Amino acid sequence: MVDKQRILIVDDDANIAELISLYLMKECYETKIVGDGESALREFPSFKPNLVLLDLMLPGIDGYQVCRELRTVSQVPIIMLSAKGEIFDKVLGLELGADDYMIKPFDSKELVARVKAVLRRYQAGSSAVSSVPKPQGEFVEYPDLVVNLTNYSVLYKGHSVDMPPKELELLYFLASSPNQVFTREQLLDHIWGYEYIGDTRTVDVHIKRLREKIKDNEYWSLSTVWGIGYKFEVRR
């Protein structure tokens, strides 16, 4: 018997939380509802969710802080829920480590579809091993860097780097076509596809996070092509 995937719902609006829970249980997910940030952080270790649905406007600790705290201990997928639709709020949420951002009110079918999409991407990465002495499968390799799409692992200078699925897919896509320039729109389409409705600054946020984890070296770099987009530059 396959264990149900667990989803932690963090929302102080009990009616919305119950409605979300009902839709997810119909799709055979196990859910737990908490109404504030402190409870979310307290329940997270014992419930061990496969995904967190996180409202931003919470009493006490807000959703941004909860996301920040969770990212210090786990790479579990996080979808932020908010009535705040400003670009600044979306970008901040993504910068803090959220995998997706949905604006209230949202359609229940879209929410379920996004949950499935994020979990599908993350499951591929959950089997990533901490060290891969000899790369196998679909991978790209450069001095000090191995990006393996088969087991969703990244080795940088011999050490495993924790990376959410979308960051890894973006790095792999760029590194697979060295010195080729891609516009933000092309990257958004290739990596996020039809499942994501967002703006091109999403790409900028993920590039910024990649650069914080993978520093340029003398052989290659994640380069900005001003006015156009990005490329994985390989120096001959």
User: How many Å from the N-terminal Cα to the C-terminal Cα in the chain?
Assistant: 53
From first to last of its 236 residues, what are the pLDDT tens digits of the chain? 457 899 999 999 999 999 999 999 999 999 999 999 999 999 999 999 999 999 988 988 899 899 988 888 888 899 999 887 677 777 888 888 888 888 888 888 899 999 998 888 777 555 443 344 444 567 888 888 999 888 888 999 888 898 888 899 999 999 999 999 999 888 988 888 755 556 778 889 999 999 999 987 888 999 999 989 999 998 76
The pTM (predicted TM-score) of the whole model is 0.57
Pick the CATH number of 139-234 from 3.40.50.1360, 3.90.110.10, 1.10.10.10, 2.170.120.20: 1.10.10.10
Contact 74, 45 (CB under 8 A): no
Residue 129, pLDDT score: 39
Looking at residue 130, its pLDDT comes to 39
The pLDDT assigned to 86 comes to: 75
pLDDT in the model for residue 15: 93
- Domain residue ranges of the chain, discontinuous segments joined by +: 6-126, 139-234
Are 32 and 49 in contact, with CB atoms under 8 Å apart?
A: yes
CATH number of 6-126: 3.40.50.2300
Residue 55: the pLDDT is 92
